[in-house]
Amino acid sequence: MSSFLESRELRKHYKEVRKYVKIGSIFLTRYEKARIVGARALQISFGAPILVEKPKGMIDPIKIAQVELRSKILPLTIRRENPNEEYQDIPINKLILKKE
């Protein structure tokens, strides 16, 4: 029974995201994810403040950037474009991050 309720909640969440996202998928693509993690890791390596509680012993900026992305705390925006030059700016917090 709980899986039915979970799937109902997921469908409801997907519909809400689809209302907001007009261009492209409702999910964060692997290319967008790689770009975000790479850019944030570069910022961290140059001394930017870390936005989440860093686990003990974690010093790799890429892993820290991945933790920040999973916590949906990054204030970044993705611009998705169509061939007819229409575009939409989407905050990454609105997109759904696939579980890996």
CATH 3.90.940.10 applies to domain 2-91: yes
Of 23, 29, 33, 27, residue with least CA distance to 13: 27
Q: How far is it, in rounded angstroms, from Cα 22 to Cα 51?
A: 29
The whole model's pTM is what? Answer: 0.83
**How high is the pLDDT of residue 47?**
94
- Mean pLDDT for 35-62 is 93
Would you say 41 and 69 are in contact if contact means Cβ atoms under 8 Å apart?
Answer: no
Would you say 65 and 98 are in contact if contact means Cβ atoms under 8 Å apart?
Answer: no
Residues 1-29 pLDDT 10s:
457 667 888 888 889 999 999 998 899 99
**How high is the pLDDT of residue 5?**
64
Q: Which of 2-6, 24-28, 43-47, 94-98 has the lowest mean pLDDT?
A: 2-6
**How high is the pLDDT of residue 1?**
44
